[in-house]
Amino acid sequence: MEATVILCKCTKQHTFGIRVEKRRHDWYRTWAFKIDEKRAKREGFDKELIKGSMEIDEEYPGCPYCGARGFFQCECGKFNCFKGNEQGNKWDVTCNWCGKRLTVVSADSFEVKGGGV
């Protein structure tokens, strides 16, 4: 089984890991856990490159800090808990890593390099 971890940051400014596993051609979010940024860098979670869709496994618990099951990827390439204001299929969000405000739209696939720190 192919699996790795990508990093995400909660709106509460805490970093956590999301375990993803490949099933056929899709990636599934299966687990989330608290981790500090220094340890995540030591573990090399910022090095893995994954491509494809990101589905939610029914057992996925969501963010360990706020419970959000959604996420968005900023232009800086990093993942964030999804906490935006819905406007049709677009949402106004702020990146918890770089602070950039942007409007995101739903996507079917991603190209991710670990989420970086």
pLDDT, tens digit, for every residue of 37-87?
889 888 888 777 788 888 999 999 999 999 999 888 888 988 999 865 555
pLDDT, tens digit, for every residue of 79-99?
999 865 555 677 888 999 999
In this structure, what are the phi and psi dihedrals at residue 6, rounded to the nearest 5 degrees?
-115, 155
Rounded Cα distance, 103 and 18, in Å: 23
Residue 29 has a CB neighbour count (10 Å cut-off) of 21
Domain limits, the chain: 3-113
pLDDT value of residue 117? 44
Alpha carbon separation from 35 to 48, 53, 77 (Å, rounded): 17, 24, 19
Listing from the earlier edge strand, what are the strands of the sheet with 15-23? 54-56, 26-34, 15-23, 3-9, 79-81, 71-73
pLDDT value of residue 44? 84
Contact criterion met (CB below 8 Å) for 96 and 85:
no
